[in-house]
Amino acid sequence: MKNLKLGKSDLEVGEISLGCMRISELDKKDAAYVIENALELGVDLFDHADIYGKGKSEEVFADAISMNDDLREKMKLQTKCGIRDGFFDFSKEHILQSVEDSLRRLKTDYVDSLLLHRPDTLMEPEEVAEAFTELKESGKVRHFGVSNQNPIQIELLKKYFNEDLIVNQLQLSLVHTPMIDAGFNVNMMNEPAVVRDNGVLEYCRLNDITIQAWSPFQHGMIEGPFIGNKEFPEVNAKLKEIAEAKGVTDTAIATAWILRHPANIQPVVGTMNPKRLQDIVKASDVELTREEWYELYRSAGNDLP
């Protein structure tokens, strides 16, 4: 599988990463197989969050593989913090405690990247910067990023924190494309012309921030997959047509559609099915033409102006 660099950092990772939210549902043997299979396929960035399984996902992950120094060096660990029960919390105290708890659960001395999970409108950027600086100087976190934030929110944080923010995790799939739609419909009086995120796609490209696409096979937020879903006949027909022509699965084509974008977007796939992950990573070797990319985009119900 091809690699990419996260933002301006020296972190070189597989261009597809594994989201570990559902690993808490597996027993130790199955979880170990998921992780080992991923590494063999070149998927070496594992995305966590303190709220996944209420912390159990990080515990299951580390216990499954009997985390040790040799194994730790073969992978990149990323976690997120800031979501609490009924509110968001970017306080220095919570960030520091969350990292301590994640390190304990993951049985490691450091994480490669820490992301702020959802915006907190009560954020004191000076306080976040203090937490980040303390974590960086202690060696507990090597790089930082955000999740679901727009350019102005990122700029507010950057005013006080001098380190590069390397990642912004944003929802993106073939049927969830608001960050792309607005760019096609500049100065139009239609619904897709509404800029909902302050031009986050272009902003991240300009600032060398890697967009990590979460829920790359989902429609809505938690409604479920669109692949194989009878509610999306046109896009599934086009996925199947292109998949058959290229000898891969429709899921691989949906992934290749994201990878084809020149923003170097990294899909975060959440499958706990080793065979499905094997099919997905084949997207790294699929070359979609410009015509195929646009055919897929239109098949998802998008009209070009």
pLDDT tens-digit series, residues 288-301: 999 999 999 999 99
221 band by pLDDT with thresholds 50, 70 and 90:
confident
Quick check: 40 pLDDT over 90? yes
Q: According to the model, what pLDDT value does residue 220 have?
A: 82
Do 65 and 36 contact (CB within 8 A), yes or no? yes
Q: According to the model, what pLDDT value does residue 79 have?
A: 98
Q: According to the model, what pLDDT value does residue 292 have?
A: 98
Provide the β-strand partners of residue 3.
14
Q: How many residues does the chain have?
A: 305
Residues 6+ apart with CB under 8 A from 185: 192, 193, 305
223 band by pLDDT with thresholds 50, 70 and 90:
confident
In whole angstroms, what is the distance from residue 298 CA to residue 70 CA? Answer: 47
Mean pLDDT calculated for residue range 256-276: 98
- pLDDT tens track for 80-130: 999 999 999 999 999 999 999 999 999 999 999 999 999 999 999 999 999
Q: According to the model, what pLDDT value does residue 267 have?
A: 98
- Catalytic residues, which ones? 52
Q: According to the model, what pLDDT value does residue 110 have?
A: 98
Tokens of 91: 């306080």
Q: According to the model, what pLDDT value does residue 80 have?
A: 98
In whole angstroms, what is the distance from residue 99 CA to residue 176 CA? Answer: 31
* Largest distance between two CA atoms of the chain: 57
Q: What is the pTM of this model?
A: 0.97
In whole angstroms, what is the distance from residue 180 CA to residue 170 CA? Answer: 12
Mean pLDDT calculated for residue range 269-282: 98
Mean pLDDT calculated for residue range 255-265: 98
Quick check: 198 pLDDT over 80? yes
Residues 6+ apart with CB under 8 A from 255: 16, 216, 267, 269, 280, 283
- pLDDT tens track for 128-185: 999 999 999 999 999 999 999 999 999 999 999 999 999 999 999 999 999 999 999 9
Mean pLDDT calculated for residue range 179-199: 95
Quick check: 69 pLDDT over 90? no
Task: Specify the pairing of strand 76-81 against strand 83-84.
Answer: unpaired
Tokens of 290: 């410009």
Q: According to the model, what pLDDT value does residue 282 have?
A: 98
* Segments in 42-161 forming alpha helices (H): 56-65, 69-72, 92-106, 125-138, 151-158
